[in-house]
Amino acid sequence: MSADPRFDGPGPDDIFATALSQGRFVIQRCRACAASRFPPALVCAVCGSADLDWVEASGLGQVYATTIVRERDGAYNVAIVALEEGARMMTRVDGVVPADVRIGLKVRARIATDPTPHVVFAPAEGESR
Amino acid sequence: MSPLRGRAAIVGVGNTRRWNAPGRTPFDQAQEAALLALEDCGLGLKDVDGLFCAISSSGLPVLNMAEKLGVRPRHADGTMVGGASFLFHLQTAVSALVHELCDVALIVYGSNQLSAGGRLVSMPDPQPYEAPYRPRYPISSYALATSRHMHDYGTTREHLAEVALAARAWANLNPDAFARGPLTRAEVLASRMISDPLTKADCCLVTDGGAALVVTRAERAKDLKAKPAYVLGTGAAVSHRQIAAMPDLTTTAAAESGRRAYEAAGVGPAEIDHVMVYDAFTITTLIFLEDLGFCPKGEGGRFVAGGAIAPGGSLPVNTNGGGLSCNHPGMYGLFTVIEAVEQLRGACGERQVAGCATALAHANGGVLSSQATAILGNAAAL
């Protein structure tokens, strides 16, 4: 095999999904410039380095943008959370009615498992419900 | 200024104006538009040697179009970046023409989105980091951007309503618009919420339709039937795919595509007589007016308040009625160019912008992801 050994092993999506299925929320951090990256990819979006590390996310973040999806069978939140590490992700904020999910709300992650593992958030301790 | 400035011109436009046409495939609409565009300039299918096409439901649209039209292109481009694709095509067509990769470029699109059932034809592009949260695609992505614009700049639902009302007022001057008739502020504000803060009235139409452009080098354009719309400058930019990956939810890559187009054309926003921006949702009109320099960042809502972009206002925007009230067949981008060309020709009847010599057409694709700007001018603007 003459493939470049830097890229050996499972790809970044697979690494993320495997960790999540084991109850761990991991994100990438660039060894060259320290920028965080989510969703996973092979290179740093900030500096272009292919030298990315995997770190446990702190799970803390703030709501950056929010909407309420209105379906016939009810309404639910969809949000973008800015992680403490810097990257953003689409997610849902639970534990509070959708109308109370406001931009700037401090939130903490947990891993939901239905139907497949995915990261959701709830207001962090000390945030008014 | 770009060395390509004014070297190519849009010489033919085709618009099927069939917004609800059961029994026609996207390719039927596209073929009809192609024929209309060629007849518009007096060229024939045998003259076409550059083919540019994107169609939501087809992975190989250039091949299908070439076969159906019986053309044998020596240059082709099937770039697919959503609704902005056709302005990316236009930018590439100008370069291909000037460098003699082709002599007659046909840019073509068709859709049966309405008659096929009204849902946006979803492209095979799964988003595993969005799917678990069930956003409605694409409106929830635009709603998230709207929430941020409101938060950062104090934009209100009343500001968004101004955009919908202006679009309808223009549509009422366009006999070919799909949604015509009275529309009140109260009706817009009472519209059903779909993905907060966007309601049904903030969303573009769902229609069928077909559109096409014929583009040639400027020397040839002078000898053809219709008045040429010279391509003074183009610009394109791509920033992301998923809304969570957009660098700043209130500033799009239109700021980059617009700057490139202005620099290429050697003009600025103050010299533009007529503006077409892709209004997939009311918020996009505000953001693109900001990013293209027609008002400062964050001021879009206050800029449009009081009817500034409606008929009789200070800046004629989306004079066909836009995606909100004229037509929106899945990917609307090409229609921004068609209306710009019609305005430059002085062919717009009741909605004609007096003395229109320069026009800006801007298109958006994905979820504020791809942006492309074209600045066109008639002979007086060269």
Amino acid symbol at B235 = G
What are the DSSP calls for B189-218, one per residue?
Answer: HTSPEEETTEEGGGBPP---EEEEEEEEEH
Residue type at B70?
G
- Band of residue B286 on the pLDDT scale cut at 50, 70, 90: very high
Q: What are residue A118's DSSP bridge partners?
A: A112
pLDDT of residue B118: 61
Please write the tens of the pLDDT for every residue from B33-76.
999 999 999 999 999 999 999 999 999 999 999 999 999 999 99
Alpha carbons A108 and B189: distance in angstroms, whole number: 35
DSSP B228: P
- For residues B368 and B141, the answer to whether their CB atoms sit within 8 Å is yes
> Do the beta carbons of residue B204 and residue B333 sit within 8 Å?
no
Helices (H), chain B: 26-41, 61-69, 85-98, 139-153, 157-171, 185-189, 218-221, 254-265, 282-291, 300-304, 322-325, 333-345
CB contact under 8 A, A80 and B244: yes
Query: Tell me: the pLDDT tens digits for A15-39?
Result: 999 999 999 999 999 999 999 999 9
DSSP characters over B92-126: HHHHHHHTTS-SEEEEEEEE-TTTTTSSPPPPS--
Backbone angles phi, psi at A25, to 5 degrees: -100, 105
- Mutation pick from B142, B147, B249 vs chain A, by most beta carbons of A within 10 Å, is B147
CB of A97 within 8 Å of a chain B CB? The answer is no
**What confidence score (pLDDT) does residue B124 get?**
80
**Distance between CA atoms of residues B26 and B298, nearest Å:** 38
Residue B104 CA to residue A108 CA, distance in Å, equals: 58
For the record, the structure tokens of B252 come out as 């799009």
B144/A89 touch (CB, cutoff 8 Å), yes or no:
no
Which tens digit of pLDDT belongs to each residue from A37-83? 999 999 999 999 999 999 999 999 999 999 999 999 999 999 999 99
Using the Cβ of B248 and the Cβ atoms of chain A, whether some distance falls under 8 Å is answered with no
